[in-house]
């Protein structure tokens, strides 16, 4: 909590670390249990999980952290939206259009003689704008027509997928027209690799910076406060705080879309270097789990994004080395969300969630 004196904050942090440690133990235990039930070697599974995610420097950098980068951005994006009471399930689609926009800018630059650095910035900016606009469609539908954003963002996800599919088989398809993907972007536009860190790229730094700033905004600024108030209790926010609820939620929605779009741009410039279908293995959805487990707090998204990055990296290793289905990790992720939801529900007891926008405007 931001309104906390220093000493109390230390105690809180310590208790949160203890909680996190407990959660980690629980995850390991749950994994072991599932492995046992499935008839797999628990030892092999856990060893593979560890070695694939955190067991070596290479694993940490090129498996875990590389996956953590997009999860960080989208996790913060989702956290901001949910915090304001906006159920942005469309991070996946916003990420895709962000990647598409970044691709367009990157491929268009040979036409303009700009330096690589400037182009990278432009591409990332375009990604953010595209993501914001994509979310904007749903935001307008919500603000003007009272449309439930859950449904509209899911629809937009599908449209984005089809749009990318169209792009990579049409306008931006690579010159030989053999594969459904765009041309690879120029070397000079790749995000620089971090020295000594395998495949890990500078996008990590950007993502961390975004997380830091977002967390600061949410905790320390008037705008961040309004975000929280509107998500907690829109009636009180409007009456006691005299906050413009509609404007606050729309801004949160757009910011969320922009961050998710940015994640797509970073993925493109740092990992994939070309646009193709299935560019995102569901980052936008995993982000929901990441954000929920972080309690919708951007600063806490950092460890949870790394956790999920590790889980997904470890899943791949489990499959390769121990023949254990990587889908097991999806089960764990789902169980984590359900556990978090249960804990919250039990804690809140009989209190109803103060009003969330319904699909129709209030009568």
Partner 1 sequence: MTHVGAADAPLALDMRDVAKRYGGTQALIDASLSVRPGTVHALLGENGAGKTTLMRIAFGLERPDRGTMHVGGRVARFASAADAIERGVGMVHQHFSLVPVMTVAENIALGGRGRLDLAGIRAGLGSLAERRGFALDPDAVVATLSVAAQQRVELAKALMHDARLLVLDEPTAVLAPGESAELLRWLRAYADAGNAAVLITHKLHEALSVADDVTVLRRGRTVLAASRADASPRSLTAAMIGGDAEPSEGSREAGVDATMHDTGTRGEPVFRATMVTIADERGLVRVWNATTEVWRGEIVGVAAVDGNGQRELLRALAGRLDPVSGTLVRPKNVGFVPEDRHRDAVLLERSLAENVALRGAGARRGVLDWSAVLARTDRLLRALDVRAEGATVAMRTLSGGNQQRVVLARELAAEDGGTPTAVVAENPTRGLDVRATAVVHERLRSAAAEGAAVVVYSSDIDEVLLLADRVLVVYDGRVREVRAERDAVGRAMVGVE
Partner 2 sequence: MDALTPFLAATVRTSVPLALAAFGELLLERVGLINIGLEGAVLAGAFGALVGASAGGVVLGYGGAVMGGVLIAVLFGAFVLWLRADQIIAGTALTLLSIGTTGTLYRSWYGSAGAALGIPTSAPFAIPGLSRLPLIGAAVFTQPPITYLTYVLAPLLAWWFARTHAGLALRAIGERPDAAAAAGIHVDRVRALAILANGVLGGLAGGTLVLAQAGTFAEGMSAGRGFIAIAIVVLGGWSAWGVTAGALLFGAASALQYAFQAMGWRAPYQVFLAIPYLLTLAALAGAVGRARPPAFLGRSLPPRR
* Site for partner 2, rule CB under 8 A: 34, 38-40, 87, 89, 137, 141, 144-145, 147-148, 150-152, 154-159, 162-163, 165-166, 169-170, 285, 288-289, 292, 325, 327-335, 337-338, 341-342, 344-346, 349-353, 355-356, 358-360, 363
Task: Tell whether residue 361 is a contact of partner 1 (CB under 8 A).
Answer: no
Count the site residues for partner 1 by CB under 8 A.
Answer: 30
Instruction: Work out which of 3, 37, 113, 178 binds partner 1, going by CB under 8 A.
Output: 3
* Among 46-54, 62-70, 239-247, 256-264, the segment contacting partner 1 (CB under 8 A): 239-247
Instruction: In angstroms, give the least distance from the CB of 125 to partner 1.
Output: 25
Are 335 and 325 contacting, i.e. CB atoms less than 8 angstroms apart? Answer: no
Are 92 and 255 contacting, i.e. CB atoms less than 8 angstroms apart? Answer: no
- Tokens describing residue 123: 């591409």
Instruction: In angstroms, give the least distance from the CB of 136 to partner 1.
Output: 23
**What φ, ψ does residue 261 adopt, rounded to 5°?**
-65, -40
Of the pair 117, 281, the CB lying nearest partner 2 is at: 281
The one-character DSSP state at 226 is H
Residue 156 interface partner, choices partner 2, partner 1, none, CB cut-off 5-8 Å depending on type: partner 2
Query: What are the distances in angstroms from CA 141 to CA 137, 148, 149, 151, 246?
Result: 6, 8, 8, 11, 12
Residues 6 or more apart whose Cβ sits within 8 Å of residue 143: 246, 249, 250
Task: Tell whether residue 1 is a contact of partner 1 (CB under 8 A).
Answer: yes
| Distance of alpha carbon 264 from alpha carbon 131, whole angstroms | 9
User: Residues in the chain, how many?
Assistant: 363
Task: Tell whether residue 8 is a contact of partner 1 (CB under 8 A).
Answer: yes
| Distance of alpha carbon 167 from alpha carbon 161, whole angstroms | 10
Instruction: In angstroms, give the least distance from the CB of 289 to partner 1.
Output: 22
Residue 91 interface partner, choices partner 1, partner 2, none, CB cut-off 5-8 Å depending on type: none
Q: How many CB atoms lie within 10 A of CB 222?
A: 9
Contacting residues toward partner 1, per CB under 8 A:
1-5, 8, 220-222, 224-226, 228-229, 232-233, 235-244, 348, 351, 354, 363
């Amino acid at each position: 909590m931001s309104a906390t004196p220093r000493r109390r904050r230390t105690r809180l942090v310590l208790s949160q670390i203890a909680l996190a440690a407990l959660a980690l133990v629980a995850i390991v235990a749950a994994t072991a249990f599932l492995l046992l039930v499935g008839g797999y070697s628990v030892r092999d599974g856990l060893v593979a999980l560890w070695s694939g995610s955190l067991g070596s420097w290479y694993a940490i950098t090129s498996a875990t952290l590389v996956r953590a980068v997009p999860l960080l951005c989208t996790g913060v994006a989702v956290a901001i939206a949910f915090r304001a009471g906006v159920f942005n399930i469309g991070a996946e689609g916003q990420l895709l259009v962000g990647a598409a926009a970044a691709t367009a800018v990157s491929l268009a630059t040979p036409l303009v003689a700009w330096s690589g650095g400037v182009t990278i910035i432009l591409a990332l900016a375009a990604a953010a704008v595209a993501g914001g606009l994509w979310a904007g469609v749903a935001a307008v539908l919500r603000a003007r027509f009272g449309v439930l954003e859950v449904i509209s963002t899911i629809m937009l996800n599908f449209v984005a997928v089809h749009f990318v599919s169209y792009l990579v088989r049409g306008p931006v398809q690579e010159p030989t027209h053999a594969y459904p993907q765009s041309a690879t972007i120029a070397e000079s536009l790749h995000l620089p690799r971090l020295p000594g860190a395998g495949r890990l790229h500078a996008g990590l730094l950007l993502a961390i910076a975004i997380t830091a700033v977002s967390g600061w905004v949410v905790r320390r600024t008037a705008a961040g406060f309004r975000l929280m108030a509107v998500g907690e209790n829109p009636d009180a926010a409007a009456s006691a705080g005299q906050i413009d609820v509609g404007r606050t939620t729309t801004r949160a929605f757009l910011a969320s879309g922009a961050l998710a779009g940015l994640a797509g741009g970073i993925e493109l410039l740092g990992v994939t270097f070309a646009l193709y279908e299935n560019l995102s293995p569901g980052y936008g959805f995993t982000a929901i789990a990441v954000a929920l487990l972080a309690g919708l707090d951007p600063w806490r998204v950092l460890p949870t994004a790394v956790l999920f990055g590790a889980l997904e990296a470890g899943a791949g290793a489990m499959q390769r080395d121990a023949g254990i289905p990587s889908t097991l990790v999806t089960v764990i992720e789902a169980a984590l969300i359900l556990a978090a939801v249960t804990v919250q529900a039990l804690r809140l007891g009989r209190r109803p969630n103060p009003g969330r926008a319904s699909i129709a405007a209030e009568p």
